[in-house]
Structure 1
Amino acid sequence: MVQTAKGQRPVYLNDPQQDKLLGIILALAGEVSVLRERLDTLEKLLETKGILSPAEIETYQPDEKTSEQREQWRTEYISRLLRILEEEIDGL
């Protein structure tokens, strides 16, 4: 269950738009932090169980299909992140 704070949002910067951007950046930073911890856990478990070594992970070269899938995901992800800015520009 997602909980939200009640009351008005605190204002940290002089511009409400900058405050929104700061909120987005901090939310993304939190997500990256969680992903980093989970990735570290997976890598350590794989190494401990003798499944993969850190060197194998570092030297992995994806095949063409995997590279294309990753590029598509990255393009869609960036588009979602920048959607609000694109909508604002389109509205001008």
Structure 2
Amino acid sequence: MMRRHARGKRPQFYEETGLDQAMSMILVLASEFSALRDRLDTVERVARDGGLGDAIEAYVPSQDVLEVRETRRQAFLDRLYYLALKDAAEAAEADTPERFAETLTDIAKG
């Protein structure tokens, strides 16, 4: 599945380069953390009421569960690093073989 990005310049709220990206990442983390806290609270209450505390501690995930978790983790990281990945993709699209050769020449002179 190819991720689509909005075209054009996005608004910049802070003068310092990268601060908008950092704020975006912080907001994604805060959102995930909040949802996680609510779900964990629910699990703890259900486990406590049903006497499942020991079963939770003894649980060993199967390979299928590990793969589902990894897929979810990668989706989270894609959201977390969305702006950085978008900027990198835009930079790669703007790059040309001529600019690459010029950069190599500049480095060699350096």
Q: TM-score range by the shorter chain?
A: 0.5 to 0.7
* Alignment RMSD: 2.5
Q: Distance between the aligned counterparts of 2:89 and 2:25, measured in 1?
A: 20
Question: In 2, Cα distance between the equivalents of 1:37 and 1:65?
Answer: 25
The unaligned stretches of length 5 or more in structure 1 are 1-10
Q: 1:20, CA displacement in angstroms?
A: 5.0
Larger Rg: 2
Alpha carbons of structure 1 residues 24 and 76: separation in structure 2 relative to 1, 3 Å: closer
Aligned-pair identity (%): 33
Given the alignment of the two structures, is residue 84 of structure 1 paired with residue 86 of structure 2, yes or no? no
Return the TM-score normalized by structure 2: 0.54
Q: How many aligned residue pairs are there? A: 79
Bigger drift between 13-22 and 29-38 goes to: 13-22
Please report the TM-score for the alignment, with normalisation by the length of structure 1. 0.62
Segments of 5+ residues of structure 2 without an aligned counterpart are 1-12, 92-110
User: Which 4+ residue blocks in structure 1 deviate beyond 2 angstroms?
Assistant: 13-17, 19-24
